[in-house]
């Protein structure tokens, strides 16, 4: 079984067997069975009526919880017309929020990428005591409330925190400023790449790297020519998820942000700022950008999953 992770973000391998099975016809029965044909189905599926009922029920649930909210974002965003929509997005405050969001993601994604590759290399390719514990610890940021994550950083870097006085004496402000936002973003997106790469590299084993070594490859050659090409899709997958979370994080960033529009607001914080200022349409206009980002993320994710399952023969 594919193990689930605490973020719940994981690939869903699409079965290749299923369409084939569906296309199998029910074998012909003896004539006197013809009467029963109406309720006839293979022993591994349900009666048609039950099937339809279950499908309708599942679709209703998904429509209520996923499709409707999605539609509502765009309808609300455009409720005052396209002109208002464009004006909201072209606002200097929005632009500065976009900039800060890009900075936070632009720093945290590469850092966690580097960590993810290093941790996955050590954990997947070597045996050492404490491996299980390390793997579990990597998941920690997923299981912690974002508010508590932000608070933990306040306790380290804030004015009353461990490093606060030392930093203040040097005129460095981290909490309620941009560095704090970047740091908590690194924290909340910490596990994404590692989580993706560890099982992937474990399943690939060490044989290809060993083969490269016996053929004379030095460490760097082995990594760039063999390891990296083998994990590139998994890495991209992790990066996309990591980026989505980095750009969308709200709770943790909210704790360490100074909430100064135009200075320390990221896009999700800007949504809150507009919402609390009763500019609902503006809030939804900014929210629609983040929703588009989510849709692009899902599309890329589905694309990589298909790409990967077609590579796995």
Q: Does 44 bind another protein (CB under 8 A)?
A: yes
Q: Which is nearer to another protein, 178 or 212 (CB)?
A: 212
Q: Does 21 bind another protein (CB under 8 A)?
A: yes
CB of 205 to another protein, least distance (A): 8
CB of 110 to another protein, least distance (A): 13
**Residue/partner pairs of 269-276 with CB below 8 Å, 24 or more apart:** 269/97, 270/93, 270/94, 270/97, 273/93, 274/88
Q: Does 1 bind another protein (CB under 8 A)?
A: yes
CB of 28 to another protein, least distance (A): 18
Q: Does 46 bind another protein (CB under 8 A)?
A: yes
Q: Strand, coil or helix: what is 189?
A: coil
Q: Does 219 bind another protein (CB under 8 A)?
A: yes
Q: Does 73 bind another protein (CB under 8 A)?
A: yes
Per-position x/- string for 139-168, each x denoting binding to another protein as judged by CB under 8 A, each - no binding = xxx-xxxxxxx-xxxxxx---xxx------
Footprint of another protein on 242-301 (CB under 8 A): 244, 247-251, 254-255, 267-269, 271-272, 275, 280, 283-284, 287, 290-291, 293-295, 297-299, 301
Q: Which of 8, 27, 31, 171 binds another protein (CB under 8 A)?
A: 8
Rounded Cα gap, residues 256 and 67, in angstroms: 33
**Residue/partner pairs of 285-291 with CB below 8 Å, 24 or more apart:** 285/77, 285/84, 285/85, 285/88, 285/89, 286/88, 286/89, 286/94, 286/97, 287/73, 287/77, 288/73, 288/74, 288/77, 288/85, 289/89, 290/247, 290/248, 291/70, 291/73, 291/74
Q: Does 100 bind another protein (CB under 8 A)?
A: no
Q: Does 175 bind another protein (CB under 8 A)?
A: no
Q: Which of 104, 113, 235, 241 binds another protein (CB under 8 A)?
A: 241
- Determine the size of the site formed for another protein (CB under 8 A): 131
Q: Which of 33, 40, 51, 307 binds another protein (CB under 8 A)?
A: 51
Q: Does 22 bind another protein (CB under 8 A)?
A: yes
Q: Where are the alpha helices (DSSP H) in the chain?
A: 18-23, 48-62, 68-77, 81-89, 92-125, 131-138, 146-157, 164-169, 178-188, 192-204, 207-214, 219-222, 228-248, 251-256, 267-276, 280-311
Q: Which is nearer to another protein, 74 or 262 (CB)?
A: 74
Footprint of another protein on 110-139 (CB under 8 A): 115, 117-119, 121-123, 125-126, 128-130, 134, 136-139
Q: How many residues does the chain have?
A: 313
Short-list 277, 278, 297, CA closest to 289: 297
CA distances for 97 relative to 104, 167, 178, angstroms: 11, 26, 11
Footprint of another protein on 182-211 (CB under 8 A): 183, 186-187, 190, 206-211
């Amino acid at each position: 079984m594919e193990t689930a992770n605490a973020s719940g973000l994981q690939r869903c391998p699409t079965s290749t067997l299923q369409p084939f099975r569906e296309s199998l016809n029910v074998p012909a029965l003896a004539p006197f069975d013809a009467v029963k044909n109406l309720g006839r189905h293979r022993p591994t599926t349900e009666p048609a009526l039950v099937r339809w009922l279950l499908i309708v029920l599942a679709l209703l649930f998904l429509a209520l919880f996923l499709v409707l909210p999605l539609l509502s974002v765009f309808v609300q965003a455009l409720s005052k017309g396209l002109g208002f929509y464009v004006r909201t997005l072209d606002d200097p405050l929005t632009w500065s929020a976009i900039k800060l969001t890009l900075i936070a993601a632009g720093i945290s994604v590469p850092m966690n990428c580097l960590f993810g590759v290093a941790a996955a290399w050590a954990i997947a390719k070597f045996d050492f005591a404490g491996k299980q514990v390390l793997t579990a610890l990597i998941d920690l940021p997923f299981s912690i409330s974002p508010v508590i994550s932000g608070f933990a950083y306040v306790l380290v870097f804030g004015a009353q925190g461990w490093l606060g006085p030392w930093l203040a004496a040097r005129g460095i402000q981290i909490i309620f400023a941009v560095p704090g936002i970047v740091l908590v973003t690194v924290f909340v997106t910490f596990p994404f790449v590692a989580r993706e790469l560890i099982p992937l590299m474990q399943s690939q084993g060490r044989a290809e790297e060993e083969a490269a070594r016996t053929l004379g490859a030095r460490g760097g050659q082995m990594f760039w020519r063999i390891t990296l090409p083998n994990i590139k899709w998994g890495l991209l997958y992790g990066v996309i998820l990591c980026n989505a979370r980095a750009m969308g994080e709200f709770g943790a960033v909210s704790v360490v942000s100074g909430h100064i529009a135009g200075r320390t607001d990221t896009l999700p914080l800007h949504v809150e700022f507009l919402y609390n200022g009763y500019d609902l349409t503006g809030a939804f206009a900014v929210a629609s950008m983040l929703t588009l980002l989510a849709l692009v993320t899902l599309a890329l994710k589905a694309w990589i999953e298909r790409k990967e399952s077609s590579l796995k023969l």
